[in-house]
Amino acid sequence: LDFGLGLPALISGRKLGRLLDQSFGDLRVEDLGVPFGAVCVDLFTGHEVCLREGRVSEVVQASYSLPGVFPPRHIGRHMLVDGALVNPVPVSVCRALGAEVVIAVNLNGDIMGRTRVPEGGYARIAGFDILELMPGGTLLGGLNGVARKLFRRDPDMPSLFGVMMASLNIILDRMGRIRLAAEPPDVAIDPKLGHIGAAEFDRAAELIDLGYQAAEAAIPDIREALRVTSYGLDPQAPPAG
């Protein structure tokens, strides 16, 4: 993690941006083999923005720029942040892109389970006390006196960033419920991720495995949705073997 000193965010995102540049190069969204749209929100107007053209690396960075965590991205005339603020599970975008069957993966379904109580201390809300998760257990020793006072927390209280992330989690959870009720997908996949904190990047393999298991469990529902919804098939016909 590279801290965003002098930026309007905790993490500068430069290292991750370089990694994306290396992975995608100059590949553009409009040259992808399938329709793709990255959902963002304009920080100043509050309008939802779906990016369907531009460099994949830049578009992806805009779509994950969680306010306060990663800095906003300036693309065209927009100052963009993570679209999850207004559309956490963008079923409507998939419909607009022409999808006949929408399979939605809701990563926020178990989001309010992320408050955990470690031994001997207050809950590290959302697993986002990044300074305690760095190699060596803390980064405080390398900071000056002012920074140490800013980042240090009372062991009986959540951290500044923990409070920020927990509050954002509540917003995402409520907004997701509202949007899914108004715009339901054909199939919803809800992996249980509440026990994994937002900054526990070292548990990526575990996250992938949980997603695989959740998708595998949804295969019967996916087959049924394809049978009924796609290609004008008779919903009364027996399910395919």
Element (H, E) at 150: helix 145-151
Which among 52, 46, 55 has a CA at the least distance from the CA of 83?
46
Give tens-digit pLDDT for 19-32.
999 999 999 999 99
The DSSP annotation for 152-173 comes to: ---TTS--HHHHHHHHHHHHHH
Q: Which residue has the higher pLDDT, 185 or 200?
A: 185
Give tens-digit pLDDT for 142-162.
554 555 555 566 666 766 777
Q: How many CB atoms lie within 10 A of CB 186?
A: 20
- The region of weakest confidence among 81-95, 101-115, 224-238 is 224-238
- Cβ atoms of 188 and 104 within 8 Å: the answer is yes
Question: Has this prediction a pTM greater than 0.85?
Answer: no
- Cβ atoms of 59 and 29 within 8 Å: the answer is yes
Question: 140 pLDDT band (50/70/90 cuts)?
Answer: very low
